[in-house]
Chains A and B, each alone.
Chain A
Amino acid sequence: MELDMARFRAALMRELRAFFSEHSFLEVETPRLAPYLIPEAHLEVFSTEYFRSGSSVPLYLVPSPELWLKQLIPGGYGNLFEIGKCFRNDEQMGTAHNPEFTMLEWYMLNANYRQSLQLASDMLQALCAALAGTPGADPASIKRASQPIYTVTVRDAVREYSGVDLAEHRSDGSLRHAAVQAGLSVGQDDDWNTVFDRLMVDAVEPQLPSDRPVVLIDYPSRVSTLATAAGGVAGGAAGGAPSRDTEYQTVERWELYLGGLELVNCYSEEIDPSHIREFFAHEQHKKLSLGRSEHAVPPDFPAIFEQQYPACSGGAMGVDRLMMALTGRKRMNEVIFFSLSDTISRR
């Protein structure tokens, strides 16, 4: 990382902290090592061991601080944020990926995903205003980041960029067929979720406006997450495979894209313990079927939500990608020190 980039990064960190503390968020630091993790089917984990008087305890590097922050929320700390390293294994090192990366995660209490969206919009404005004159800032990138956010629902975006209406294709085969008609190549065994991912990757993401921040909002419930069902309707959040007769349902989730990079993922958080248990079971099962390594899950985690648990919205932002988006750099190893791909190649 060049000097300008290092200085810009330091300034960005300072401004991020200033913004969140000015908005009454408490900065916390939680462990990187955990004896258990929230199961997420598509994430591979880093494993290690703690040696204690002859025996060893398996430990994992956290893929996000969600595990800890959600346990702090009922503790009366108010709005929380954390900036820290997160770890995702088996993620290929590419232009926008490093297995170890810096994430900013926030939780806003008594708020939903729309209020988090306003927060993210204000954050971009504040960062652009504060950092525009900092060496390393790319004027065109700063201008782009400070434009009003273009918000579009996932259903509308898929329809606009591929002609496929997700709501009309509820079975795997039907969506596969529609995707092929739209000119995409799909695998014979692709299920609904995989075809949906292909539509996002091959049709939607490459065609999103690139001159301003874009938010894709209201994701299909079939994409398994810990986001609440739209409008508080129960039953959608745990994902899984709803029957073919169910209507097209969405969850309260958005993702922000800037300069072609997926930057922020945000939910109205699921706080129904039964839905959280369903999510855990679904993800653990999926993890096994995908051949991912097994890990322990926090045994008491869903029970936290049986007590008075405040409605809240959480967002997670890739800070290294934000660096790229504000400095106009095309490769992550230009905005971090000692990227793993560089250090491995020098070994």
Chain B
Amino acid sequence: MIKAGAIEKGQCLLMKDQPYLVTERDFVNPGKGSAFVKLKLKNLRTGSTLRETLKSADTVETADVFDKDAQFLYEDDTGYHVMDTESYEQYVIPKEGLEQKGRFMREGETYRIKMWEQDAIDIVLPMKMVFEVTEAEDAIKGDTVTGATKLVVIETGMSVKVPIFIKAGEKILVNTDTAEYVERVNE
């Protein structure tokens, strides 16, 4: 059991005997009132969406979810196909709620995945990952304003907003939760 106020995105909860993945979580404090947690949940069995508003002080049951390592093979309309690196068993992880993570994943690479009973339900990415910039426009000469930004494309095809001094071929550290640039990586 955990307090609703401690629920995090990506956590798994048992509600009404169904396993749910928390896909969105927001906190609301109506003026001078009690604090609430607004949740968007994905039913791990049916894929259906549930919205729930809980008092921060309420308690909720967590679903018993465990991690394992899996190699990301490819993605298609059914989801992300991964393979257990020990048993070679393959799983398909439904995409809903994981679209942003999907844009950071490299085929062939190994990630932590989350399992509930026999199903793979989530991918755990490191908080920050290094990516190569594959496309970037040159900074305009004379534009020395500090803090100005531009969009570049990283190796996975995702666009990231970066300071204008970043060039194609350079490596950058990106926060995978917010999809924001953190810093340039010099190797």
Min CB gap A304→B, angstroms: 22
Contact A265-B31, Cβ < 8 Å, known A94-B26, A187-B55? yes
How many chain A residues sit at the interface, stated as a range, is 20 to 34
Taken together as a complex, chains A and B put the C-alpha atoms of A239 and B38 apart, in Å, by 26
Q: Within 8 Å CB of A92, what residues of B?
A: 5, 27, 35, 37, 56
Q: Is A134 an interface residue (CB 8 A)?
A: no
* Interface-side segment among A123-131, A190-198, A294-302: A190-198
Inter-subunit contact A42/B32 (CB<8 Å): yes
Taken together as a complex, chains A and B put the C-alpha atoms of A59 and B149 apart, in Å, by 43
Q: Is A224 an interface residue (CB 8 A)?
A: yes
Inter-subunit contact A194/B27 (CB<8 Å): no
Q: Within 8 Å CB of A291, what residues of B?
A: 57
Min CB gap B34→A, angstroms: 5
Q: Within 8 Å CB of A265, what residues of B?
A: 31-32
Inter-subunit contact A194/B55 (CB<8 Å): yes
Instruction: Annotate A329-347 by CB proximity to B: 1 below 8 A, 0 otherwise.
Output: 0000000000000000100
Q: Is B148 an interface residue (CB 8 A)?
A: yes
Q: Within 8 Å CB of A156, what residues of B?
A: none
Q: Within 8 Å CB of A6, what residues of B?
A: 147
Q: Within 8 Å CB of A223, what residues of B?
A: 32-33
Taken together as a complex, chains A and B put the C-alpha atoms of A291 and B5 apart, in Å, by 14
* Pick from B28, B32, B58, B146: contact of A187, CB under 8 Å: B58
Taken together as a complex, chains A and B put the C-alpha atoms of A128 and B147 apart, in Å, by 25
Provide the main secondary structure of the chain A interface: mixed
Taken together as a complex, chains A and B put the C-alpha atoms of A87 and B146 apart, in Å, by 31
- Interface residue total, chain B, C-beta cutoff 8 A: 27
- Please give me the residue from chain B that is nearest to A40 by CB atom: B32
Q: Is A202 an interface residue (CB 8 A)?
A: yes
Contact A290-B53, Cβ < 8 Å, known A201-B30, A265-B31, A345-B127? no
Inter-subunit contact A185/B52 (CB<8 Å): yes
Min CB gap A259→B, angstroms: 15
Q: Is B165 an interface residue (CB 8 A)?
A: no
Inter-subunit contact A197/B34 (CB<8 Å): yes
Inter-subunit contact A2/B57 (CB<8 Å): no
Q: Within 8 Å CB of A205, what residues of B?
A: 28, 30
Inter-subunit contact B38/A201 (CB<8 Å): yes
Inter-subunit contact A185/B53 (CB<8 Å): yes
Q: Within 8 Å CB of A194, what residues of B?
A: 33-34, 55
Q: Is A57 an interface residue (CB 8 A)?
A: no
Instruction: Annotate A183-215 by CB proximity to B: 1 below 8 A, 0 otherwise.
Output: 001010000011011101110010000000000
Instruction: Annotate A160-189 by CB proximity to B: 1 below 8 A, 0 otherwise.
Output: 000000000000000000000000010100
Q: Within 8 Å CB of B57, what residues of A?
A: 290-291
Inter-subunit contact A2/B147 (CB<8 Å): yes
Q: Is B116 an interface residue (CB 8 A)?
A: no
Q: Within 8 Å CB of A94, what residues of B?
A: 25-27
- Please give me the residue from chain A that is nearest to B36 by CB atom: A201
Min CB gap A256→B, angstroms: 10
Taken together as a complex, chains A and B put the C-alpha atoms of A67 and B175 apart, in Å, by 40
Q: Is B145 an interface residue (CB 8 A)?
A: yes
* Pick from A4, A42, A193, A224: contact of B29, CB under 8 Å: A42
* Pick from B33, B37, B146: contact of A42, CB under 8 Å: B33
Residues 145 to 186 of chain B near chain A (Cβ within 8 Å): 145-149
Q: Within 8 Å CB of A95, what residues of B?
A: 26
Q: Within 8 Å CB of B149, what residues of A?
A: 2
* Pick from B28, B32, B145, B148: contact of A201, CB under 8 Å: B28
Instruction: Annotate A77-115 by CB proximity to B: 1 below 8 A, 0 otherwise.
Output: 000000000000011101101000000000000000000
Min CB gap B48→A, angstroms: 16
Inter-subunit contact A42/B34 (CB<8 Å): yes
For B28, B31, B149, which residue has the most chain A Cβ atoms within 10 angstroms?
B31
Beyond the given A91-B35, A223-B32, could you list 8 further A-B residue pairs with CB under 8 A, ordered by the A residue number?
A42-B29, A90-B5, A94-B25, A185-B53, A187-B55, A198-B53, A201-B53, A262-B31
Closest 6 pairs between A and B when the two form their complex, measured CB to CB: A3-B147, A92-B27, A197-B33, A94-B27, A200-B30, A197-B30
What are 7 A-B contacts defined by CB distance under 8 Å? A42-B34, A92-B5, A94-B25, A193-B33, A197-B34, A197-B36, A225-B32
